[in-house]
Amino acid sequence: MKVLVVNPPAFNKKDFIREGRCMQTKSSWAALWMPLSLCYIAAVLRKDGHEIKLVDCIAEKIENNGLLEIFKNFKPALVVLNTAIPSIAGDMNTALALKNSDPGIKITIVGMFPTILEGECLKQFKQVDYAIMDEPEWAVAHLINAINEKNSPEHIKGLIFRKDDEIIVNERQNLSENNIDDLPFPARDLLNNNAYILPTNGKKFTLLSVGRGCSGNCIFCIANVYYGRSFRKRSAENVISEIEECVNKYDIQNFLFWGESFTTDSKYGEKICDEIISRNIKIAWSTTSRVDTLNQNLLEKMKKAGCILLGLGIESYDQGVLNIARKGITVEQIDRAVSMVRKAGINSMGHFVFGLPGDTKETAFKSINFACNSVDFAQFYCAIPYPKTELEIIAKEQKWIYDYNYSQFDLTTSVMRNEALSAKEIKKIRDFAYRKFYFRPKMLIKTLREVRSLKSFFSILNFISWIKPRNH
């Protein structure tokens, strides 16, 4: 079967990152991510003998008209379309354009939108024929086999589909049955890898999955909705083999190790680092961690293996806010983690969320001051009441949500208030945090030192323009 796998175009001049729980505009990271899930889907389907075309419209600056030309020339039997909650209006606009071009085309959507909305996504959008809940690779492969063999898809776990005038929501996947070591490496050869570059040095980089799932109980997070509550690790050998393929085949030496927490199992992290060191693989990489899973020995090995940046899920520097959010960490653990990362010689990236229950101007500024005095880099977000989270339940009960327009469910925008702060105040605090952190002379000098090209310089200017004061 011919299958067109698509990361939809920008919408309203916004480039989106759509990768599992990460759903936000590109500007908030100033770097474009390769669509890892779509590359896995393409690799699985190609392994099954299907003819695949993968199009990342964001990376290639392709709009709907350009995509329709590709669609007409390729003549697929099925389209797999990536989606995210804040980009859903544009995503579905693309789906409609494809359906109008060929009413017989079957359109399947993947991503967090169908995972959370389930059958509601097909009710809202008649142009969609199938939707996949949870991780998509196995379910998409089973669906195509069922279509080819003209079998009913009712047995496919994780699938939503239309049967006459009825929308059928099948049983969810048992993610523990999906062995991620069985997946072929992502089909990076179907992408323009030169489109994914680091903003400061202009070098190619790629996402590389080390594991899936999160056992955390944070009231605001949707990570475990997509990949499950248990952390399923790839084997260290499998990870290392993919790294070597990226280095040798694609000339990529920069990586974001993608997973909820690289340090969840310290022995596992150490094994990957030991292999990188023993094989003398020269790479630079970043990853993320909870603050309560670090130890100095692992951090020293990470540094030696090429880790240059470690993202820390801090969220707030106030214990009361952390407790209400069920983060499961203490401010003492935050202090200790930042200190250990600094001692290991790795840059730290603190992640903070404003507007959670219990957050006030006082607690928010406590977090901002901590960030300015403790971490090397920072990301600041607005709390989003995503569907099916406990935060949404609380926000609905308290009538905090003022905008149910999914296009506003972006981490850069506030759609809800809390007990002490209006949505407008939360957004102002978040914008102020960026300016306070990055407009310090220390940070401006540090950032400019990282610039390696004129293109990188303009990327920095774009980022500065993005965080400048706005009218509210």
DSSP assignment of 366-381 equals HHHHHHHHH-SEEEEE
Average pLDDT over the chain reads 91
Would the CA dihedral through 419, 423, 425, 428 be positive or negative? positive
CATH 3.80.30.20 in the chain is located at: 197-466
pLDDT at 470: 46
472 pLDDT exceeds 90?
no
Predicted model pTM: 0.92
420 pLDDT exceeds 50?
yes
Could you confirm whether domain 2-177 is CATH 3.40.50.280?
yes
Q: Which two tokens stand for residue 77?
A: 């039997």
Collapse the DSSP code of 99 into the 3-class scheme (helix H, G, I; strand E, B; otherwise coil) and give the result.
helix
pLDDT at 216: 82
pLDDT at 426: 97
Residues 206 and 34: beta-carbon distance below 8 Å: yes
Residues 290 and 266: beta-carbon distance below 8 Å: no
466 pLDDT exceeds 80?
no
Which has more confidence, 453 or 132? 132
pLDDT, tens digit (0-9, with 9 covering 90-100), for 232-253? 889 999 999 999 999 999 999 9
pLDDT at 17: 86
Contact residues for 60 (Cβ-Cβ < 8 A; gap 6+): 192, 195
Could you confirm whether domain 197-466 is CATH 3.80.30.20?
yes
pLDDT, tens digit (0-9, with 9 covering 90-100), for 181-235? 999 999 999 999 999 988 767 789 999 999 888 878 899 988 877 887 788 889 9
Which has more confidence, 213 or 419? 419
Please give the single-letter amino acid code of residue 379. Q
Span of 69-73, 106-110, 196-200, 454-458 with lowest mean pLDDT: 454-458
pLDDT, tens digit (0-9, with 9 covering 90-100), for 259-296? 776 788 889 999 999 999 999 999 999 999 999 999 99
Closest CA to 111 of 37, 48, 181: 37
Closest CA to 421 of 316, 326, 312, 291: 316
CATH 3.40.50.280 in the chain is located at: 2-177
Confidence of residue 452 (pLDDT cuts 50, 70, 90): low
Cα(461)–Cα(380) distance, integer angstroms: 19
Please give the single-letter amino acid code of residue 262. F
78 pLDDT exceeds 90?
yes
